[in-house]
Structure 1
């Protein structure tokens, strides 16, 4: 019973992390559908990383739309 109060915050942190990853693009097709492109390891200036296409490729989207 003493351990229960230690496991509850850990469980909440895991659920919080899983919630954000659902919204980010997870494949090349989904990235392109959301008007992005797959860049190798990083994105150049007017673009930011918004998800992952594969292991070393990240989904890049424009900052302002």
Structure 2
């Protein structure tokens, strides 16, 4: 039974270090720092494209209407 706990911990460490997971997390942080929000798919009408959060998510910033 103890081996299941070790196996779970090993799988968790492998997934945590996977490049896709860590890259997506840093991209989301970068988007938030730039004042953007991650949306699934393309940006809504009142937002402009500012970058990519991950494969399926776009970083969008709200447009300034002056």
Taking structure 2 as the reference length, the TM-score comes to: 0.54
Question: Unaligned stretches of 5+ in structure 1?
Answer: 1-25
Structure 2 unpaired stretches of 5+: 1-25
- How far 1:63 moved relative to its partner? 1.8
Q: Which has the higher helix share?
A: 2
What's the counterpart of residue 56 of structure 1? 56
Task: Tell me how large the CA RMSD over aligned residues is.
Answer: 1.8
Structure whose CA Rg is larger? 2
Residue-by-residue CA offset, 1:19-46 (whole Å, 9 max, x unaligned) = xxxxxxx710000011110001111111
Give TM-score, length-normalised by structure 1.
0.55
Report the number of matched residues.
40
